Amino acid sequence: MTNAQVTALQYGFIGFLALWTVLLVPQLITQLARHGGLRLRGILTTAAVLFYGCMTVAVVLLPLPGPGTRRLAQTVQLHPFQWITDIHTEMLKHGSEWFVTQTFQQACLNVLLFVPLGIFARILWRRGLTGTALIGFAASLLIEITQVTANFGTAPFVYRIFDVDDLMNNTFGAIVGWVFGALLLTLLRGSRSTIDVQPARRERIHLAQAR
């Protein structure tokens, strides 16, 4: 992870704290009015989604180009799996292993970036695999369009590349997150079933002994 990415994450965390502080009080008031008490699960869910959103926006948009920033020679990359070729080129140039190349690490980060979105889609929003893939693709496409339009004209020039590989890797990350979320739900349901069955089994044994 580069210093620029670390700085972007720091700004994202600051933005999360600021937004959560603003949203937390209305949420607490709403919970007290509707349920007569606080619901920790709802508070934590809101915090998790907000945290993910702030960190994602920070990573994909920051740092903004400064006065000395050079313009990109290429702003659009439409060749699928170009990142594999780039890894090979980087290996030849630097003599490094494929798994330590910056290109490979960036591809992994693009996948990991959307894993939480897939988890949210499965657990919180009850979406299927196809729906989750569409959500991941749409969110990634929005990010790429934002980048290729220089943040819809608010940045001085385009400073991030519209990359079809990012679309593919982000969507794949959402799918991975959906699978992980589905497995997690299965494990939780299995644990609850075990907990529910054991008291019933003990009660049947107690009744049999009483007879």
Q: Where are the domains of the chain?
A: 1-64, 75-211
More confident residue, 52 or 68: 52
Helix axis angle for 102-123 and 129-148, nearest 10°, is: 130
The Cα 13–Cα 51 span in angstroms is 7
| pLDDT computed for residue 69 by the predictor | 87
First to last CA, the chain: 68
Is residue 194 predicted with pLDDT exceeding 70?
no
Please give the mean pLDDT across all residues of the chain: 89
The pLDDT value given to residue 119? 97
Average pLDDT over residues 180-199: 78
- pLDDT surpassing 60 at residue 202: no
> Do the Cβ atoms of 42 and 27 come closer than 8 Å?
yes
**Measured between alpha carbons, how far is 203 from 211 in angstroms, rounded to an integer?**
13
**Residue 157 near residue 150, CB atoms below 8 Å:** yes
Q: Which helix (H) or strand (E) holds 170?
A: helix 164-210
Say how far apart CA 169 and CA 176 lie, in whole Å: 10
- Give the angle 106-110-114 at the CA atoms, nearest 5°: 160
Residues across the chain: 211
Indicate whether 62 pLDDT > 60: yes
Which one has a higher pLDDT value, 210 or 179? 179
H or E segment and range at residue 199: helix 164-210
pLDDT of residue 95: 81
Predicted confidence (pLDDT) per residue in 67-123, tens digit: 888 899 999 999 999 999 999 999 988 887 888 899 999 999 999 999 999 999 999
In this predicted structure, what is the pLDDT of residue 210?
53
Q: Is the Cβ–Cβ distance between 168 and 80 less than 8 Å?
A: yes
- pLDDT of the residue at 66: 84
As a whole number of angstroms, the distance between CA 59 and CA 180 comes to 23
Global pTM value: 0.85
Task: Determine the average pLDDT of the residues in 33-40.
Answer: 89
Rounded-to-integer distance, Cα 53 and Cα 171, Å = 16
Tell me what percent of the residues of the chain surpass a pLDDT of 90.
72
pLDDT mean over 10-16: 95
Q: CB neighbours of 114 closer than 8 A, spacing ≥ 6?
A: 136, 139, 140, 169, 170, 171, 172, 173, 174, 177
Q: Calculate mean pLDDT across residues 144-154.
A: 94
Q: Is the pLDDT of residue 138 over 70?
A: yes
Torsions phi, psi for 76 (to 5 deg): -135, 130
- Rounded to an integer, the average pLDDT of 141-160 is 94
Output DSSP code: residue 163: E
- The Cα–Cα gap between 152 and 102 comes to 28
Pick from 49-53, 87-91, 120-124, 126-130: least confident: 87-91
